[in-house]
Amino acid sequence: MSYFRATDPFPLESADHTRLHEFYARLAAGRLATTRCAGCRRLAWPPRAFCGACGSDQFDWVDLSGEGTIHAFTVQEAGLPTGFEGPRVFVIVKIDGLRVFSILVGVEPATVAIGQAVRVSPLRVADDPNGNARWLPAFRPA
């Protein structure tokens, strides 16, 4: 079977494809991480290999606390791409001063509330074309 990048909804996470591979490696280990600019020390979200504030391309990896609160959310019940189960809860989580757009899993959508405590719960998705596991950030109720 051939691989068609245009129909793959997930990022190519391996070190061959992204300088931000470390983000996915830490996610596979259950940790949500981001970059801190080595020049101006600004914490970025999403992780960046290049600082938009000072122009540096040097950065360090920083693990976030893994626990946050729901700042906003919405529930998608229709129109999900093939292969995605619904309803799907999208959230903006406040975590370590950042606002992280992600999905909420393991929850009944009607019970979700602003201010609710959540914790990082990485979600394994389809393997990449070389058979490597892939992960996306997700949260579940704390």
Contacting positions for Zn ion (CB under 5 A): 37, 39-40, 42, 51, 53-54, 56
Output 56 or 74, the one with its CB closest to Zn ion: 56
| Closest distance to Zn ion from the beta carbon of 48 (Å) | 9
Annotate 38-66 with b (16+ C-beta within 10 A) or e (fewer): eeeeeebbebbeebeeeeeeebeeeebeb
User: Nearer to Zn ion by C-beta: 42 or 71?
Assistant: 42
Quote the CA–CA distance of 62 and 113 in Å, as a whole number: 28
Instruction: Give the nearest distance from C-beta 35 to Zn ion in angstroms.
Output: 10
For the bound state, the minimum distance from the C-beta of residue 131 to Zn ion, rounded and expressed in Å, comes to: 37
Nearer to Zn ion, 40 or 117 (CB): 40
Of residues 27 and 44, the one with the C-beta less far from Zn ion: 44
Shortest CB 60 distance to Zn ion, Å: 11
Going by their DSSP bridges, the two strands 33-37 and 88-95 should be labelled as: unpaired
- Taking a C-beta distance cutoff of 8 angstroms, is the pair 54, 32 a contact? no
Return the number of the residue (31 or 42) whose C-beta is nearest Zn ion: 42
Q: How far is the CB of 58 from Zn ion (least distance, A)?
A: 9
